[in-house]
Amino acid sequence: MQAVSEINEQIKTSSGPNQSESSFDATRIRADFPILKREVQGRPLVYLDNAATSQKPQVVIDAIANYYAADNSNVHRGVHYLSQYATQAYEDARNTIRKFINAADTKEIIYTSGTTAGINLVAASYGRRFIKEGDEIIISTIEHHANIVPWQMLCEQTDARLRVIPVNDNGELLMDEYERMLNPRTKIVAVTYVSNALGTINPVKRIIELAHSVDAVVLIDGAQSAPHLKVDVRELDCDFYVFSGHKVCGPTGIGVLYGKQHLLEAMPPYQGGGDMIATVTFEKTTYNVLPYKFEAGTPNIEGAIGLGVAIDYLESIGLDRIAAYEHELLEYATELIGSIPGVRIIGTAREKASVLSFTVDNVHPHDVGTILDGEGIAVRAGHHCAQPVMQRFNVPATARASFAFYNTKEEIDALAGAIHRVIEVFA
């Protein structure tokens, strides 16, 4: 049985640090991911659905299995050895996450079940405490449903108004329009860093600065940025940053809400239960300190530990190197796929990460997806939980290839070949 510390040792000796800066050895990295060895439909798996979820390296799989095999116990409870050990591993992971996004304090790192839960927590807790009738909440046209619906629900409950930043035909936010929307009634601005449907990287630093000029707080949906961009929450000066573990090579069911401490202190608890209390009597309950105030009930312990290991793994390769390599893949794919007659790329922003959304003339994206699947290629076909984006670009759905650092140009060649096959079938 391995301890987490041994797994960390394993990370240090695996893919990342031994490579030279100039070359990115995807072949070697692929060896860390057991699933990439499997076949689908009798062909090697070409996994291009990373924006939906990323694959897991062996070190993460081992960390989770090892936790249950050797260390399983509840956290923050017992005086016994295992409970203390589990608590330590769980809290160490919190510190790993803190460093990953450069937060000032682990009090600002709240474990959630994922991005969606983080946004709902802020909408429910911050929203109910601070949003009143007539206040305004700004989102953008290119949000995932998870960053639309919680705000709509809040607006319904409080009679606040939801406003939406429009985008141009490339899928870039119209910043002038955004600036005009801001006013003293603006209380929350909630935008994604990277669009899951289009790949657009939003100018979040500028968005945050402008929002702060009218004293609005800003939530950044980091679901798609966490795997691809180095994020420093203090440098961005965002008030809330949320992301999911499963998109950064970690397990599902774990995610992170970062919030500035003074904001989290001012917010009421979201859910009541064990672990979030200091004292309970039938007359009055006092709440636990941060971050536990927002973590009611037994948490996803193996998820947190797995996420910590996943982040260590990513950092061992380096987010900057990952971003550079993925950018190379995206440029290659855009050029290759975009030059196929009949293919239209949806989302042509100047700043993009990882996502290539496209349509094929006269072929529905679901048929594209099925034929690609027949070639062992996994892409997403549909509205990507972003129906307003589909409406904006006047398409019912798109096919979406999304890349990770373990993908290769050969896989993109396979994708291009399969798209040619789609066109043949429907000719």
Partner 1 sequence: MADLNELYQQVILDHNKKPRNFRALEHPTVTQLGHNPLCGDQLTLYLELDGDVVKDVSFQGSGCAISKASASMMTAAVKGKSRQEVETMFDEFTRMVKGELDPEAEPNHLGRLKIFAGVRQFPARVKCASLSWHTVHAALQETHEPVSTE
Residues with catalytic annotation? 385
- Please, which residues have CB within 8 angstroms of residue 37's CB and are 6 or more apart in sequence? none
Task: Provide, rounded to whole angstroms, the least separation between the CB of residue 349 and partner 1.
Answer: 23
Asked whether 354 and 52 are in contact (CB, 8 A), the reply is no
Task: Provide, rounded to whole angstroms, the least separation between the CB of residue 356 and partner 1.
Answer: 20
Out of 149, 364, 378, 413, the only residue in the binding site for partner 1 (CB under 8 A) is 364
Q: Can you tell me whether residue 75 is helix, strand or coil?
A: coil
Task: Provide, rounded to whole angstroms, the least separation between the CB of residue 387 and partner 1.
Answer: 8
Is 426 an interacting residue with respect to partner 1 (CB under 8 A)?
Answer: yes
CA distance 184 to 277: 36
Is 366 an interacting residue with respect to partner 1 (CB under 8 A)?
Answer: yes
Return the range that interacts with partner 1 (CB under 8 A); candidates 30-38, 96-104, 258-266, 364-372. 364-372
Count of other CB atoms within 10 angstroms of residue 105: 12
Is 203 an interacting residue with respect to partner 1 (CB under 8 A)?
Answer: no
Nearer to partner 1, 276 or 360 (CB): 360
Binding mask 377-396 toward partner 1 (x if CB under 8 A, else -) reads ----xxx---x--x-----x
Cis, bond preceding 291 (omega within 30 deg of 0): yes
Nearer to partner 1, 290 or 397 (CB): 397
Asked whether 144 and 174 are in contact (CB, 8 A), the reply is no
Is 41 an interacting residue with respect to partner 1 (CB under 8 A)?
Answer: yes
Closest CA to 336 of 404, 424, 403, 415: 415
Out of 142, 201, 248, 397, the only residue in the binding site for partner 1 (CB under 8 A) is 397
- DSSP annotation string for 290-331: TTGGG--SS--HHHHHHHHHHHHHHHHH-HHHHHHHHHHHHH
Task: Provide, rounded to whole angstroms, the least separation between the CB of residue 49 and partner 1.
Answer: 13
Out of 69, 266, 278, 425, the only residue in the binding site for partner 1 (CB under 8 A) is 425
Asked whether 322 and 76 are in contact (CB, 8 A), the reply is no
Q: What are phi and psi of 216, to 5 degrees?
A: -85, 150
Out of 21, 22, 23, 42, the only residue in the binding site for partner 1 (CB under 8 A) is 42
**Residues in contact with partner 1 by the rule CB under 8 A:** 41-42, 363-367, 370-371, 374, 381-383, 387, 390, 396-397, 425-426
